[in-house]
Structure 1
């Protein structure tokens, strides 16, 4: 836990936690308490020194899925999220909680996924502290300090949109250049980029909603109201940026889907042509088989008669007929002629 006393000229003094109660009693000081993690010691300070509501302290200990704002008689409690990129396009929601009071700002970094790199949760507060130490920022009121911290968080959201936008452009170049590679993997990349834009868009929309609500709170000073309105406008800008890039990405997805559909249609047409060619070849082959079978049957009739009368058994009375031979020839001719006529009518010949 870092306890800092911010002077009028931007001078930051590090103070021990034991002096915190005395610092809060001063009227001419701006106290900034930055808590990297809400451990039992931090919970004790939040409850005993500041006297915050138990539900607000519980929100600091547990992870909050959506941003929120609670207005208490002497302070505001705000929960916001910043994006952090994870493996395979996963978006980590890095939580930042704030208590903004009369002469203090307490920043509590909510529970962080172990997969998030160390230091990511402290990006905003470290950036603001660096600006103060360098003399580029001179917050005189808690509203100004909170404004600087939230603005840093919004810049991180914008940087994330910029990162995803570069991915979208790269994906578009692969589509238009015909270098997609594995279609399934490429579709995964497209929808991972879409998921990232949706996540940041949601952060911007919800952040804008709660700061829009804060503009109607009577306990916010006129100067604080101006800063709140500007923050709400910044969140709306993040939402607009994410929406614009998401629509652009949707065009890339639709273009790729159209390309896949056209390719599938062409492949289907080629397959149909091949099937038609094979069908025609099979039909031609069947016609040839019909002709061969028909002629085989026609020549089978004389062969059958000749085979029977070529047996030369002793008890074959036809062998001794005077008209036996001519009759056998006539029978062969009639049988062949009859089969030829039948096959001809059926179209086999």
Structure 2
């Protein structure tokens, strides 16, 4: 952990053993930055500062949502900033703060191993660089906390800016009809939407926390002014995320409308093809009816001719004088009757 004494526009690095004396002194403010809450950090938080066991436990464990706890002589605050991960995942980078009378303790909560080592320290690192360059001059722990939280909000804004680039690219792909695989494109849309929703939630909860802190009477008037300003910053951050999310929702709705129209056109084309197939099938059935009808008409004479063409010695009517004309008449009548029947049924 890093122990620093901030006074007279200077930042002095001190040892952990000097902490009790520094806390009892009146010269400047003490800033203790803990990259991880290990056993040594727990011991310092519990024994040197005497923080509540529940607050120390929350520094060791991961907190899913921001929170604030007000104690008699200090305020405990948990905040998050976003970090982009693989496949649209958003890492919640936790920053815990103990804001006391003459000290500020910043504890970096547990993070996913996939997060780069320097990411959790970016807010405190940015403020430390400004302190060392003389660009910020905090006189109280609340002013130092204000600088760190403002840096956290700037990183939230940078995240929204980065996601906005993706939103514009997605919109150009939709309007330019360069979507590619629809399923993968929808996944990209909702991954970006998830990122905006995550940072929007962080900002909204941060606004709620600092809105509650603005009602704490133990914070000085100057500290109250800083708390109100941070509340406004979180509110602005939430509005930015909401605006981009609504813009992206318009892109999603436009794409969904495009898919609906394409599906309707495909359905119409399929209906037209089905209609053509139905008409072709109907025409084919009509032709089959005609063929079947004529086959039946010609079958009757063929049947008579086939029967009387058999060469059996003992067949009736073979020796009739009028046998041949009678056979012809029978053939013609049978064919005529079948023709009339099929004609009436509409087969011919």
| TM-score (ref. length: structure 2) | 0.99
* Separation (CA, whole Å) in 2 of partners of 1:161 and 1:337: 89
The offset of 1:319, in angstroms, is 1.0
* Separation (CA, whole Å) in 2 of partners of 1:282 and 1:77: 80
The offset of 1:312, in angstroms, is 2.0
The corresponding residue for 1:311 is: 310
The corresponding residue for 1:8 is: 8
The corresponding residue for 1:145 is: 144
The corresponding residue for 2:235 is: 236
* Separation (CA, whole Å) in 2 of partners of 1:256 and 1:70: 45
The offset of 1:316, in angstroms, is 1.1
SS state at 2:246 partner: helix
* Separation (CA, whole Å) in 2 of partners of 1:100 and 1:317: 127
The corresponding residue for 1:94 is: 93
SS state at 2:171 partner: helix
* Separation (CA, whole Å) in 1 of partners of 2:69 and 2:283: 84
Report if aligned partners of 1:109, 1:121 keep a CA contact under 8 Å in 2.
yes
* Separation (CA, whole Å) in 2 of partners of 1:340 and 1:228: 102
The offset of 1:28, in angstroms, is 2.1
SS state at 1:311 partner: coil
The corresponding residue for 1:41 is: 40
The corresponding residue for 1:180 is: 179
SS state at 1:231 partner: helix
What is the 5 A alignment of 1:105-116?
105-116=104-115
Q: Which runs of 5+ in 2 are unaligned?
A: none
SS state at 2:96 partner: strand
* Separation (CA, whole Å) in 1 of partners of 2:159 and 2:8: 33
SS state at 2:93 partner: strand
Per-residue Cα deviation, 1:255-289 (whole angstroms, up to 9, x for no partner): 00000000000011001101101110111111111
The corresponding residue for 1:191 is: 190
What is the 5 A alignment of 1:97-136?
97-136=96-135
* Separation (CA, whole Å) in 1 of partners of 2:343 and 2:8: 114
Q: Which runs of 5+ in 1 are unaligned?
A: none
SS state at 2:318 partner: helix
The offset of 1:29, in angstroms, is 1.7
Number of aligned residue pairs? 348
The corresponding residue for 2:280 is: 281
The offset of 1:115, in angstroms, is 1.2
* Separation (CA, whole Å) in 1 of partners of 2:242 and 2:270: 41
Report if aligned partners of 1:318, 1:324 keep a CA contact under 8 Å in 2.
yes
* Separation (CA, whole Å) in 1 of partners of 2:268 and 2:283: 22
| TM-score (ref. length: structure 1) | 0.99
The corresponding residue for 1:217 is: 216
- Does residue 29 (structure 1) correspond to residue 28 (structure 2)? The answer is yes
Per-residue Cα deviation, 1:73-94 (whole angstroms, up to 9, x for no partner): 0000000000010001111101
* Separation (CA, whole Å) in 2 of partners of 1:222 and 1:313: 132
Report if aligned partners of 1:67, 1:206 keep a CA contact under 8 Å in 2.
yes
Q: Superposition RMSD on alpha carbons, in Å?
A: 0.6
The corresponding residue for 2:66 is: 67
